[in-house]
Amino acid sequence: MHFRKFSLPALAFVLLFSLTEAQESPSAVCFYTGAPAKPGLTIDYEGVTYAFSSEEKKARFAQERTASLYQQIGGAAALKAAVDLFYVKVLADDRVNHFFEDTHMASQNRKQMAFLAAALGAPVPWKGRDMRTAHANLDIREPDFNAIAENLQNTLTELKIDEKLIAQIMTIVAGTKDDVLNR
């Protein structure tokens, strides 16, 4: 094998040039449009960096995060506390705990966190099954749905979430009722 010899300054130039090229290449795409993002137009939100193609899109993202129910209740930390307490209540509730007898609860918690985050306005969309498909084989009746909703409302109240926010969240939950009951 024959290796070409580079002087140290030449090698440093090649490395610097390749690093500069890599940094300047538009690998990030705009959260809204999918177009190449402009350098420096980013927001770090809950450990994720979101990139944007314009100042307008960046400002829109910031405004939507502030206005979202997700952010108003406290973001990921508050939602995690709510989901954890919610399942403590649900599993202690003889009206509905039988639905979770064969459920891997850590997985269920993750799915519920992801669903509620998306439903309440977090920037990550729900990628799971739709509510009708997810609940199709469970034979859930209206009293079951109401018991689950009651446990959620009690959880949010116990966590001292503002009553107006609770009302908005419960409206979102009520909007899933027909799908969950497969009506």
Q: What is the pLDDT of residue 13?
A: 39
C-alpha neighbours within 13 Å on the C-beta side of residue 87: 19
pLDDT over 60 at 142, yes or no: yes
Q: How far is residue 65 CA from its own chain's centroid?
A: 12
Structural domain count of the chain: 2
Is position 15 within any domain?
Answer: no
Select from 67, 84, 99 the last residue of a domain.
67
Asked if residue 80 and residue 152 are part of one domain, the reply reads yes
Cα-Cα end-to-end distance for the chain = 72
Q: What is the pLDDT of residue 2?
A: 44
Note the pLDDT tens digit of each residue in 11-48: 343 444 434 333 434 479 999 999 999 999 999 999 99
Note the pLDDT tens digit of each residue in 81-114: 999 999 999 999 999 999 999 999 999 999 999 9
Range of the domain at 48: 24-67
Q: How far apart are CA 112 and CA 167, in angstroms?
A: 19
Asked if residue 157 and residue 97 are part of one domain, the reply reads yes
Asked if residue 58 and residue 96 are part of one domain, the reply reads no
The three-class DSSP label of residue 2 is coil
Asked if residue 106 and residue 38 are part of one domain, the reply reads no
Asked if residue 156 and residue 124 are part of one domain, the reply reads yes
Asked if residue 118 and residue 44 are part of one domain, the reply reads no
CATH number at residue 85: 1.10.490.10
Asked if residue 132 and residue 155 are part of one domain, the reply reads yes
pLDDT over 60 at 9, yes or no: no
- The percent of residues above 90 in pLDDT, for the chain, comes to 77
Asked if residue 49 and residue 96 are part of one domain, the reply reads no
Q: How far apart are CA 17 and CA 5, in angstroms?
A: 18
Is position 10 within any domain?
Answer: no
pLDDT higher at 74 or 6: 74
pLDDT higher at 42 or 9: 42
Q: What is the pLDDT of residue 50?
A: 95
The three-class DSSP label of residue 129 is coil
